[in-house]
Amino acid sequence: MTRFPRQMPMQISLPADFAEGRFITAPCNAQAVAMLGADGWSGAQWPNGKLVLTGPEGSGKTHLLHIWAQANEAQYLNARDLTPARLEGLSNCAVVALDDAEALATASELQVAAFHLHNMLAERKGRFLLAARRPVRDWGLALPDLMSRLQAAHHATLTAPDDALLAGVLAKLFADRQLRISDQLIPFLLPRMERSLAAAQSLVAQLDAESLARKCTISRQLAADVMQMSCDPD
């Protein structure tokens, strides 16, 4: 494979677009969408007002949390930020979306804060939406009372994406970066890439960076080179 001398491209951080209209519904996320969106994103059907979304990295959990939080005027935060001070700031809140919830296991103070938050929302008959890669039993929580309460929540699972979803996500990722591609590029990528949304995100970022370095458009040949470089141990 021909190696091209390259300049280091400027790294541009583009904001993630979590608008409802940008979410792509497919069989792999249908259960979660049904649990969240059946009543206009209200989540009214959840037992005890709490739901845990689980699924692999890049499966759309964070996007769904943002959609639900916006629709319900909920507080959205990452579990690593659930400190006692932040908990105090939620004292008047009845609707919370907690992302990366398995990170609660990294610190006892996070678990204590989550326990108090859970009880506070329960007392107000509020709603608590959490997202994590794995089921609650696998988070490694050291606080039994918190584990028992979260395990009692209803669960919805997002699975690995199918071709239709991957194609839609790739198109969205290219559009987010304002990259123009040929109609043949995505069909070329699908059978050759790792089957995950995280891999799609990484691949598009690599193609963007390499096209800037080579000062060329994103073509099938460029895509083949980038994927070969990813597999090349040297």
What is the CATH classification number for the domain harbouring 106? 3.40.50.300
Percentage above 90 pLDDT, the chain = 61
Q: Is residue 59 part of a domain?
A: yes
Residue 182 and residue 111 share a domain = no
User: Which domain range does residue 65 map to?
Assistant: 26-157
Reported for 137-141, long-range contacts at CB under 8 A and 24+ positions apart, including other chains, are: 138/102, 139/101, 139/102, 139/104, 139/105, 140/102, 140/105, 141/104, 141/105, 141/111
Out of 136, 157, 178, a domain closes at 157
Residue 150 and residue 37 share a domain = yes
Confidence of residue 61 (pLDDT cuts 50, 70, 90): very high
User: H or E element: which one contains 157?
Assistant: strand 154-157
- What does pTM read for this prediction? 0.76
Residue 68 and residue 173 share a domain = no
Out of 114, 131, 157, a domain closes at 157
Instruction: Give the mean pLDDT of the chain.
Output: 87
Confidence of residue 233 (pLDDT cuts 50, 70, 90): low
Residue 151 and residue 92 share a domain = yes
Residue 118 and residue 58 share a domain = yes
